[in-house]
Structures are given as C-alpha cells and as structure tokens.
Amino acid sequence: MSVVSTAEPRFVLVTRRTRLQELVARHNTVAQARFYVEHLGAPFAVYEEEHETYLAAVREARDTFGRFGRVHSLDRAFLPNYVFGPEDHAAAIGQDGLVANALKYVGRRPLLGLTPGPDRWDGPLLPFRVPDLPAAIPRLLDRTLPVRALTFARVALNTGESLLAVNDLFLGARTHVSARYEIESGGERASHSSSGVIVSTGLGSTGWLRSVRAGAAAIVGKTAPPLELAWDDPALVFSVREPFPSRTTQARLVSGRVSAESPLVLTSAMAEGGVIFSDGMESDFLAFTSGTRATITALPGAGMLWSRTA
C-alpha cells in the first residue's frame, strides 16, 4: 500500500542578483552606480529596466507558487550550503546559467526553469514563462508534467574533492599560459602543453565546445561537422585547446568521447595556477596542481528538468 503525503507543498525558488544590484554592491549606492556607468558613456536605464522586470517576475512567480503551497526564495550564492527537503519542489528564475548552476545542487529532483521575460532572457533551460505557472504547477504536483533527463559530467580528484558540470568542465591554467598535464583516454597516454581541456555534456555540446571546434576547423579551412549530443546521451565529448607539439609534449589525444566505462584522466604537471571549474563558474574552482589526478566520467540521469513537451 503506497503512502500519499498530505503535507503542504513547498517550493524553493532560486533567484540571483540583478546587474543593478551587483553594481550597487560594488559602488555602494544607486547614484554612484549611475555615475560610474554614465561616466563611461553607457545608458543606465537599461540596468534599471532589467532590474524592475526581473523583480516583477520574481514577485509574480512567488505569488503564483504561494497559491499552491509555501514558498522559499533562495539566492544562488547560498545554493552550495542549502539542504533540500525530500519533498521540496525546486524552480529557478533567471538566465540559463542560473538553471545550470541550480541543477548541480537540487539532487535527483526535477527543476523548473523559468524565464523572467522571453524578450530579454531565453535559452534551452528556460522552457517556462511565469504566466505558464498556473497551468504547470498542478501538473508538476501530480507528476504529469513531462521531464527531460540530463547527463552530467563529474570530475573526481585524488585529493578526495569532486565537482559536477551540467554544461562543461574546464581543466587548465588560471591565466593565459600553457597548461602542462598528462592525459589518458582509451588506453592511450600523452603529455600535453595546451590552453586547457573542455569536457562537454550533451546539453553543453552546442556551447563552448562548438566554438572550439568551429575555430579549429576554420584555421585549416574546413567546416566542423555537427556534433550535437542529446541531453541524455550517456557520453561526454572532450576537446584540447591549442595543443603544442614539442620534444616533450605531443599533439595527440586531442579529442574523444568519455563515458562511465571509459573515463578521461588528467594528471597535472603545473606547479601553480592549475584549476578546474564547471559551467563557466571560475570563482568556484578546484586546484589542479602538480600531482593532482583528475578522473572525468559521465553521469547519465544525474539531473532532471521539467519540460513543456514530452
């Protein structure tokens, strides 16, 4: 006999500071932020309009969720330390990047991606508008709303640390210098000096990885063939940026696939400045210095996103 919960639904709405709020945090007041922006010749009204649009969308979303249960707003800065309850329903309102960041912390529960305004914010992780919520929430609660499964990338270090990626991982040097490391894939091994390695999920394959491939193809006068993996593809794809062949380094093992059964392994040879970060979040990084061994694997079904269509 199944047990049906009678507890009032609880919605956790993940938000982020607007660009105006970030400017005020840096310059102390709106007036000083305005002076700074306009002194550089940029229109300040753009920041004000964006700020008001975002806050209005957040208020409307909170009010709508509130008709169906309790609502808790959570700034994305607190995501790493927030513990979601077993019956919490998670949503994020903002850019694609905010949804990707939230997906890493909500566990194996579906996340609802909301755009504050499709004219200003769009992307594949923002399938819902705030006006869609009255119809979507009942279907979310009775689990009749479609769900899309996502494959994540995971890097685990021999130090015991680990990091998840929804779109991609970067392994390399913090600044614009050559990264030195040993790479292992498919039973082969090589020593590299490069601008770093990108490891992309299916979701991220149309982003950073696509630009790396397009640039490399253009240099040799070719067109990069399409490489768009499904969001739930059980494999990842890696690409080495600007590998440099020398007497001690090779330009092989520069691209390939990664799976749970066939991991990608990098061992750092950088005395300092080596980093690993995910989804463009450079401030949230793992140190990747001499002797640090990074093992990257695919995690099929590690994330789920509520969808408008099956």
pLDDT of residue 3: 44
pLDDT of residue 1: 41
Is residue 169 assigned to a domain?
A: yes
The whole-number average pLDDT for the span 137-150 is 95
End-to-end C-alpha distance for the chain, whole angstroms: 29
Is residue 196 assigned to a domain?
A: yes
On whether both 85 and 222 belong to a single domain, the answer is: no
pLDDT of residue 304: 95
pLDDT of residue 218: 79
Alpha helix segments (H runs only) across the chain: 19-27, 30-39, 45-66, 96-103, 133-141, 208-219
On whether both 107 and 248 belong to a single domain, the answer is: no
On whether both 86 and 156 belong to a single domain, the answer is: no
On whether both 206 and 283 belong to a single domain, the answer is: yes
Is residue 209 assigned to a domain?
A: yes
Domain end position, chosen among 86, 119, 145: 145
Domain end position, chosen among 145, 179, 210: 145
Instruction: Look at phi and psi of residue 160 and say left if phi exceeds 0, alpha if psi is from -120 to 50, else beta.
Output: left
Please tell me the total count of domains within the chain. Answer: 2
- Report the percent of the chain where pLDDT is more than 70: 96
The set of residues, in sequence order, having a beta carbon less than 8 Å from that of 245 and lying 6+ positions away, is 251
pLDDT in tens, 161-192: 999 999 999 999 998 889 999 999 989 999 99
On whether both 170 and 284 belong to a single domain, the answer is: yes
Mean pLDDT score of the chain: 91
Is residue 5 scored above 80 in pLDDT? no
Is residue 2 scored above 90 in pLDDT? no
Is residue 6 scored above 70 in pLDDT? no
Q: Which residue has the higher pLDDT, 260 or 90?
A: 90
Q: H or E stretch including 90?
A: strand 88-93
What range does the domain containing 135 cover? 10-145
pLDDT in tens, 81-117: 999 998 899 999 999 889 999 999 998 899 999 999 9
Q: How many helices (H) and strands (E) does the chain have?
A: 6, 17
pLDDT band at residue 198 using 50, 70 and 90 as cut-offs: very high
Is residue 2 assigned to a domain?
A: no
Is residue 307 assigned to a domain?
A: no
On whether both 288 and 238 belong to a single domain, the answer is: yes
On whether both 200 and 132 belong to a single domain, the answer is: no
Please tell me the distance from the alpha carbon of residue 136 to that of residue 203, in angstroms, as a whole number.
23
pLDDT of residue 191: 96
Domain end position, chosen among 91, 110, 145: 145
The whole-number average pLDDT for the span 36-47 is 91
Q: Residue 160: how many CB atoms within 10 A of its CB?
A: 6
Backbone angles phi, psi at 235, to 5 degrees: -115, 160
Please tell me the distance from the alpha carbon of residue 153 to that of residue 303, in angstroms, as a whole number.
11
Q: Is 3 helix (H, G, I), strand (E, B) or coil?
A: coil
pLDDT of residue 4: 46
What the block records as the tokens of 88 is 């919490």
Contact 34, 42 (CB under 8 A): no
Q: Residue 217: how many CB atoms within 10 A of its CB?
A: 13
The whole-number average pLDDT for the span 277-304 is 94
**What is the pTM (predicted TM-score) of this model?**
0.86
pLDDT band at residue 147 using 50, 70 and 90 as cut-offs: very high
For residue 250, the domain's CATH number is 2.60.200.30
Q: What is the DSSP string of 5-33?
A: --SPPEEEEEE---HHHHHHHHHSSHHHH
Contact 115, 126 (CB under 8 A): yes
Residues across the chain: 310
Is residue 222 scored above 80 in pLDDT? no
On whether both 155 and 141 belong to a single domain, the answer is: no
Residue type, 139: R
